[in-house]
Structure formats: C-alpha cells, structure tokens
Amino acid sequence: MPFTPDSELDLLFPAELISLEVKNQLHQDVHVRPLAATDYRRGHLDVLSVLTVVTDPGEEAWVAQFHAMRALPLTYYMIVMVDKNTDVIIGVGTVFIERKFLRGLGSVGHIEDIAVDKKQQGKKLGLRIIQVLTGLSENSGCYKTILNCSNDNIPFYQKCGYVQKENEMAKYAPKEHVQSPRL
C-alpha cells in the first residue's frame, strides 16, 4: 500500500502535538503520527500481538472503540510508527491523562501498550515512542508519567530515562464479570 499522509487520515488527536524534535530523529522511512480511524487495516492489532494475546474484535467494533476514545478529549493519546514503504504499522504506544484533585488539581500520564514489531526491534523505535508519549504527557501539564512493566523491560525504560518506583498490585475480575463497555 502507498504511504498515506496525515492530511488524508481521520486522526485521534492533532498531529502537531507530536514532538518535532523526536520526529526529526526518526529514520526517513519511518513516520510517527496519532492513531487513525483506518489503522485496523494497517496492522494495528498485529503489532499489539507482540505484547500479549490479542482477540480481534473485527473492524466495526475496532472503529467504534476509536470513536469512543476520541469522544473523551484531552485524555487518550495513541501513537503509531508507520513504515513509509508499505504504510504498515511497526510500533504502537499509548499515554492516557488522569485528572486528579490532588497536587493542585494536577494530572498524571499513564503509559500503556508499548509494542514494536519483532523485525523492527533494536532500532530505537521503542525509545522514540516513549519520548513522544512522555512529551505528550508533559505538554498536557502532567507532573509525572508512570507505567508498569516486566522485570525484563526495566533496562529498556531506564534507557528512556525512567526510574523504578514502588510496586504494582493487580486483582483480576472473575471472567464472568468482565463485559465490554457500551460504545
């Protein structure tokens, strides 16, 4: 597929919010932009499957989820790295902004779902994704940006400038209680 420029896409948030400094450090064959409404067809879920088991909801439900996220302004920032030669997605990442009553009505950026296509790993794409997401978080006024990761990935996040802090706790709901949110 030929490369699709941002001007022809329906994007999750304005592309101008992405750091130019990081954009300029990418290889000329790689483009970073917000998630687009048609990215289901560019392999968005294939890249996420590098991270965990992905259940494909089908394109219609995927697009409905995209619009549900966009309906919450200034909250969801999902980015993708695209191979300009193929128009296929090779890296993904999300930061969502949590508003608080603490810290003078402050906000916290939560980084989630970072994945780079297996064949593209080791080329600093992961680092650039984290730099873009951290920039989006800080430009949203967040006083900190946080994430959870496996022990194996601690050195990667340290290379991205993150430090280890506290612990993660989790409680999974019984399967029969888990429902998709109404779109």
Ligand X SMILES: CC(C)(COP(=O)(O)OP(=O)(O)OC[C@H]1O[C@@H](n2cnc3c(N)ncnc32)[C@H](O)[C@@H]1OP(=O)(O)O)[C@@H](O)C(=O)NCCC(=O)NCCS
The candidate with the shortest Cα–Cα distance to 47, out of 1, 88, 84, 5, is 88
Least separation in angstroms between residue 167's CB and ligand X is: 15
The distance from CA 98 to its chain's CA centroid, rounded to whole angstroms, is 15
- Residues in a beta bridge with 146: 110
What element of type H or E holds 135? helix 125-139
Residue of this chain nearest to ligand X (CB atom):
126
- Taking residues 25 to 54 in sequence order and writing x for each that binds ligand X by CB under 6 A, - otherwise, the string is -------------------------xx---
* Nearest C-alpha neighbor of 76 from the set 6, 137, 162: 137
Write the DSSP symbol of residue 120.
G
Residues from 90 through 119 that contact ligand X (CB under 6 A): 114-116
Among 121, 138, 143, 146, binds ligand X (CB under 6 A): 121
Residue count at the site for ligand X (CB under 6 A)?
18
Binding site for ligand X (CB under 6 A): 50-51, 114-116, 121-127, 149, 152-153, 155-156, 159
